[in-house]
Amino acid sequence: MKKLPRVALGAWAWGNDGTFGNELTVESLQPVFDRAMKNGLNLWDSAYVYGMGTSEKILGTFLKDWPRDSYIISDKLTPQCADYSSDSPVKDMLDMQYQLLGINNMDIYWIHNPVDSPKWIEEVASYYEGKDNAPIIGVSNHNLEEIKEADRILKSHGLRLGAVQNHYSLLNRSSEESGILDYCKNNHIYFFAYMVLEQGALSGKYDTKHPFPAGSQRAEVYNPVLDKLEIMNKKLKEIADELHVSSAQIPVAYAIKKGTIPIVGVTKVNHVDDVLSTLNIKLTDKHVKELENTADHLNLNLIRMWEKKMD
């Protein structure tokens, strides 16, 4: 299996779809991409549904200046965006994504969610069966039984499940508690952790006096529980101060220590610099226990509308 970097960079916010409440441009993101690539952070995670092609188009604008073997693209087939009436829905989606990205093959390709599963596992498996350029095939937002089913279907086509991508953070460890992390480890499957910073709620930037800007989906979810998030962020700062790093680096370092590949959204150059510094952080087992105990006592439910608890 292809060796991947320890951190993936997420382009979800690049879609400008209202989730993050930002208005990002090619001009503002160009230095972010350049800083990452020049420092070896070359695994980029996107999806057509992130702004209905906007994220992929922006990413593609930057990719054209780099040789194909210098970066790794992780992209997704979102069932809700596929053409159910087509005889070749996977090819149709890929062709559109290739055009937006300016490439002709994927490194990692995901079924974004379990809607109409296992239909879309079968569709992707049938499309890539026997192809020399088959990517790492993954599933996102799937529970353990759905993951096992996906692997069985792929193996029946001469392929295998190579990656799982779920919401995983200090405040949502259901993929660990349900046995998914262990299953992935035991079967040599990469586990990608998205929302490790809970969309900025674990960055130390927001509290009851400094809430998320009104009008974004983040504000609706996190502003009502900022009092509890302050407790978590206080513990993060305590450990960050001990290690002489920033609070936002600790949840990412935690995800790495747990054996996952965290996906970190980057919209500013300092976000990239934070990731680079995070790669040098060595959390101890004591740190992990303190962080998990603090999180568990908060008893927060941050499962979002597009996902489910992995039990």
**pLDDT value of position 303:** 80
- pLDDT reported for residue 19: 56
- Token pair belonging to 146: 């759905």
From first to last of its 311 residues, the chain has per-residue pLDDT tens of: 567 999 999 999 898 765 555 678 999 999 999 999 999 999 999 999 999 999 999 999 999 999 999 999 999 999 999 999 999 999 999 999 999 999 999 999 999 999 998 999 999 999 999 999 999 999 999 999 999 999 999 999 999 999 999 999 999 999 999 999 999 999 999 999 999 999 899 999 999 999 998 888 889 999 999 999 999 999 999 999 999 999 999 999 999 999 999 999 999 999 999 999 999 999 999 999 999 999 999 999 888 777 777 77
Burial class (CB in 10 A: 0-12, 13-18, 19+), 36: buried
> How confident is the model at residue 2, as a pLDDT?
63
Among 165, 162, 170, smallest CA distance to 191 is for 165
State residue 20's pLDDT score.
54
* pLDDT at position 1: 54
In whole angstroms, what is the distance from residue 237 CA to residue 307 CA? 29
Q: What is the pTM of this model?
A: 0.94
pLDDT at 304: 75
Torsion angle, alpha carbons of 289, 290, 291, 292, to 10:
50
